[in-house]
């Protein structure tokens, strides 16, 4: 199995970062078109990117303001059965170290490579959203 990793610092509190990666409103501001779900262990999240990409995940790890992991349950074939998550560590009161991963890829395929690139760009957009309040319109996101 293969894993995508991205580690970076966001200049805001871990509580704000956790909200951005665990709530529908937070996810909609940098990734999804419209997501729905309750941020809690075992809950189902709908990650909606349009009719063709109406995906579902289950929260398999959850520690408020510290860690969240989503296991993909309905998505394009290559994303099954991958999981992605965020581990947060407070460096300073307004500085958070983010360790992102997307694991359990069966091969280093074209989709894996594209996902790695897209995650890097989307995580950069999340950083801009949290640090500067910039929300990239959904149609312009990778």
Q: What average pLDDT does the chain have?
A: 96
- What is the CATH number for 129? 3.30.530.20
Q: Please state the pTM of the whole predicted model.
A: 0.95
CA distance readout (Å), 35 to 10, 13, 73, 97: 23, 23, 15, 25
Give the number of domains in the chain.
1
Supply the range of the domain harboring residue 52.
Answer: 2-140
Tens-level pLDDT at each residue, the chain (142 residues): 999 999 999 999 999 999 999 999 999 999 999 999 999 999 999 999 999 999 999 999 999 999 999 999 999 999 999 999 999 999 998 999 999 999 999 999 999 999 999 999 999 999 999 999 999 999 988 6
Q: Which residues pair with 7 in a beta bridge?
A: 99
């Amino acid at each position: 199995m293969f894993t995508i990793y991205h580690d970076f610092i966001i200049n805001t509190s871990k509580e704000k970062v956790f909200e951005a990666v665990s709530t529908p409103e937070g996810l909609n501001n940098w990734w999804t078109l419209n997501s729905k779900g309750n941020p809690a262990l075992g809950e189902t999240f709908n990650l909606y990117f349009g009719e063709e990409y109406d995906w579902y995940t289950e929260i398999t790890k959850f520690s408020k303001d510290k860690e969240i992991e989503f296991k993909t349950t309905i998505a394009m074939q290559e994303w099954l059965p991958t999981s992605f998550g965020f581990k947060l560590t407070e460096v300073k009161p307004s500085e958070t170290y983010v360790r992102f991963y997307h694991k359990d890829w069966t091969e280093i395929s074209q989709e894996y490579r594209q996902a790695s690139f897209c995650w890097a760009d989307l995580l950069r957009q999340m950083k801009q959203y949290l640090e500067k309040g910039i929300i990239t319109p959904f149609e312009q996101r990778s």
